[in-house]
Amino acid sequence: MDNDRRKFLTSSAAGVVAGGLLSASARDAFAQTKSATPAPSQLPKLETTKNMTLAMLQTPAGLALGVRTDKGIVNVSAAEEAFKLGAPLSTDEVISGEYNAAALRATVDKAKAAGDKYLVAETSAKFAPCVTEPSKIICVGLNYKAHAAEANEKLPKEPILFNKYNSALNHHGGTIVVSKEPGKNFDYETELVAVIGKTARNVSDADALDYVFGYCTGQDFSERDQQLRSSQWMLGKTGDGWGPIGPWLVTGDQVDPENLNLKTLVNGEQRQSANTKNMIFSVRKLVSYASRYMTLEPGDLIFTGTPEGVILGYPPEKRVWLKAGDKIVSSIDKLGDLEFTLT
């Protein structure tokens, strides 16, 4: 990897603003340095990353790659600065495959053996979005039968796709500033998020999961009045920070995306509880379908839809919309709890 990009990643604390979102200048700098990364053929690919749980951390030195271990989270970026084994500095690098996988594992092992110097306790860690530079954030509407029923909508014959933008990215422990938004009908949508790991175009259902790097917990935060003003949902879906993901990015070999329990808590009260086996369109079908119409690239995110239990599904007289001060926890088996607060 070139030194300029490494320098950017290790000094990007200024690129993390309130709520943990990346500033526009940081995103621009990241995109520019990305273009200077050596071609894949110039980098060793010793193995495919498996059995790893990754994160992006906010640290005094900038954004850092973290690897979850039984001793805590290894700050890989700090360890790489010390050991210089050639480990990657971000989940984006790991997802792309443009890194030395053996160097990553060696760095993690050496960091664990060094005591607490390169370890961060999960309870004190400050997280960034577990993927920071997706080229596309694709979302799926009405992908659970019970959710379609509560919304008084017909079951879709094919996936309903819409989008968010990078400015919607947010993180575990972050905030969403609803008090400064024009809407007031704010709603939660806990969702399984699939992270693309290989370039995919016109892939079959049977092969689709081979193109998924891993999975994370996501929240498709929404404002229903803006969403439903027209047939286009974008305005109610892609506000600043309305796409929290994380805290963990779990490699696909550890996850069965068709059998995961998920739930939502609002101020400690359970609002959603379902299993991904109830999806109308499975992850493999969603990846295959989307790849017919666009090229999916490493790091792209697919929010796979939310189950029943959203506020919009309540009778109108029982809808109590989210407001400043509310705390939302989105949980998915094996992927962890994603917490954020409204302000």
pTM: predicted TM-score of the whole model, two decimal places: 0.88
The two three-digit tokens of residue 230, written as one number: 């027209």
Q: How far is CA 192 from the centre of its chain?
A: 9
* Residue position matching structure tokens 């959710």: 147
The two three-digit tokens of residue 45, written as one number: 């690919």
The pLDDT assigned to 24 comes to 45
The pLDDT assigned to 224 comes to 96
The pLDDT assigned to 153 comes to 82
The pLDDT assigned to 228 comes to 86
Question: How far is Cα 141 from Cα 164, in angstroms, rounded to an integer?
Answer: 12
Q: Sheet with 336-342: list strands edge to edge.
A: 174-176, 336-342, 327-332, 261-266, 269-275
The pLDDT assigned to 233 comes to 87
The pLDDT assigned to 25 comes to 40
Radius of gyration of the chain (CA): 19
* Residue position matching structure tokens 């990078």: 166
Answer for the pair 280, 141: CB distance below 8 angstroms, yes or no: no
Question: How far is Cα 242 from Cα 227, in angstroms, rounded to an integer?
Answer: 13
The pLDDT assigned to 37 comes to 41
The pLDDT assigned to 12 comes to 42
Question: How far is Cα 262 from Cα 273, in angstroms, rounded to an integer?
Answer: 6
pLDDT tens for the chain, 343 residues long, are 444 444 444 444 334 433 445 444 444 433 443 444 444 444 444 356 899 999 999 999 999 999 999 999 999 999 999 999 999 999 999 999 989 999 999 999 999 999 999 999 999 999 999 999 999 999 999 999 999 898 888 899 999 999 999 999 999 999 999 999 999 999 999 999 999 999 999 999 999 999 999 999 999 999 999 998 888 888 899 999 999 999 999 999 999 999 999 999 999 999 999 999 999 999 999 999 999 999 999 999 999 999 999 999 999 999 999 999 999 999 999 999 999 999 9
* Residues paired with residue 192 on neighbouring β-strands, in sequence order: 217
The two three-digit tokens of residue 216, written as one number: 């994370």
Answer for the pair 45, 33: CB distance below 8 angstroms, yes or no: no
The pLDDT assigned to 48 comes to 67
* Residue position matching structure tokens 């370890």: 119
Answer for the pair 330, 163: CB distance below 8 angstroms, yes or no: no
